[in-house]
Structure 1
Amino acid sequence: MKRYRVMAWVVGVGLLVLVLVAMPLKYFAADPLLVAIVGPIHGFLYMGYLALTADLGVKSRWPVVRLLLVALAGTIPFVSFIAERKVTAPLRDAAPVTPG
């Protein structure tokens, strides 16, 4: 679960940088360099997010629709943060507490 949480945040931040910084620079300042750098990095990280989402979904026995919705959360700004909270809250509550 921790790997999924970290990846959800990384993909979310990467998408925000792409949408809120790189894209405006490309279209308003005619500087496509940041999009050329951040875009492929976000795409690569999103593939990792998909793999970790699938892993967590299978282990948690999610319905296919839920798995697809959580996977799509990495494509909409801010939604990956919301999805991460909604997905991990019940899992954290159900996890056994280990001493120490």
Structure 2
Amino acid sequence: MIKSFRSIALLEGISTLALYFFAMPMKYIANDPIYVKNIGMAHGVLFMLYIAFAILIKNQQKWDAKTFAIVCLASIFPFGTFYIEKKYLQNT
């Protein structure tokens, strides 16, 4: 299950970067909102999977409330899930 979470964290991080640095500029600069719709949908699904997997593996990884909060909040920020993968999931 941890391997799946690592993959989801990576994909969620990539989708966040694609949304912020490609789709949104295309929407507001090139007036083409289709990228936000498609990438945003993928990002939303990956975000929900990331949070669901974090909840599922919280006890397995023996995360306290602070660590769990950090893992969940990291999904909001660009590069956050990459940090979590490196700091909390690398050695598992």
Q: Does TM, normalized by the shorter one, top 0.5? A: yes
**Superposition RMSD in Å:** 1.1
Distance 1:40 1:69 in 2: 24
- TM-score of the two chains, using structure 2 as the length reference: 0.91
Query: Could you report, residue by residue, the CA deviation over 1:34-62 in whole angstroms, capped at 9, with x for unpaired residues?
Result: 00111121111111111111122121221
Give the ranges of 4+ consecutive aligned residues of structure 1 lying more than 2 Å apart after TM superposition.
none
Distance 1:81 1:75 in 2: 12
Identity %: 34
How far is the alpha carbon of 1:29 from its aligned partner?
0.9
Mapping 1:80-91, distance limit 5 Å: 80-89=81-90, 91=91
How far is the alpha carbon of 1:14 from its aligned partner?
0.6
Query: 1:58 aligns to what?
Result: 59
Structure 1: stretches of 5+ with no match in the other structure:
93-100
Distance 2:86 2:31 in 1: 37
Query: 2:45 aligns to what?
Result: 44
Structure 2: stretches of 5+ with no match in the other structure:
none
Pairs aligned (count): 91
- TM-score of the two chains, using structure 1 as the length reference: 0.84
